Amino acid sequence: MSANKLLGLKIKNLRSSKSLELGIKITQSKLASELGISRSYLGDIESGRTKPSDEILNKLVTYFNVTLEYLLSEEPVEGNALKEDVYAKIPEEYSSKYKVTSRDVTRYMEEMKRSNEAFFLNDELNEDDKKEMLDLMSELFWKAKSINKEKRKKNK
């Protein structure tokens, strides 16, 4: 993978991770506005078609609170950088009782993304309320998975 494609993947993952952390969807348009660049330029950066200027790299470092070394390193991004964050959000009562598969994590990330898009488009909720709602949706997701696993056990 080229250095530009790897950098683009890291930026996409950081954007997704920050969206999950804040409970709001950070779109390319929103991030581009924060960086003072066009959405199409950010799209070119995220797709690996172009390398950002030093000024934009410094703004990305500040915005995502990461090091320049991380952004520019050749270290591969495994799957999705969000996964490490997701494992931290899995309730202990679930992970101690059931094996958490990569499929579980992928489904969780998809549900949280859909929830972000569905509930937070209008920005009427404050950040604390958004976080509380996301935490509740996360709890419900893992509770539903647990209930479904118990039902499957009984039906065997």
Considering the domain architecture, whether residues 66 and 116 belong to the same structural domain is answered as: no
Stated as kind and residue range, the H or E segment containing 58 is helix 54-64
Residue 101 counted as domain residue: yes
Final residue in a domain of this structure, among 19, 41, 72? 72
- Domain housing 65: 3-72
Query: Per residue of the chain (156 residues), what is the pLDDT tens digit?
Result: 678 888 988 898 888 878 877 777 889 999 999 999 999 999 999 988 999 999 999 999 999 888 888 888 876 554 444 444 555 677 888 878 888 776 777 678 778 777 776 666 666 767 777 778 878 888 888 899 899 888 988 887
pLDDT confidence of residue 49? 93
Considering the domain architecture, whether residues 96 and 142 belong to the same structural domain is answered as: yes
CATH number of 31's domain? 1.10.260.40
Final residue in a domain of this structure, among 12, 47, 72? 72
Considering the domain architecture, whether residues 90 and 54 belong to the same structural domain is answered as: no
d(CA 71, CA 65): 11
How many independent structural domains does the chain possess? Answer: 2
* Helix (H), strand (E), coil (C) string for 72-121: HCCCCCCCCCHHHHHHHHCCHHHHCCCCCCHHHHHHHHHHHHHHHHHHCC
Residue 77 counted as domain residue: no
Considering the domain architecture, whether residues 87 and 59 belong to the same structural domain is answered as: no
Considering the domain architecture, whether residues 120 and 66 belong to the same structural domain is answered as: no
Residue 89 counted as domain residue: yes
Considering the domain architecture, whether residues 97 and 139 belong to the same structural domain is answered as: yes
Dihedral through CA 58, CA 62, CA 68, CA 70, nearest 10? -150
pLDDT confidence of residue 82? 46
Residue 31 counted as domain residue: yes
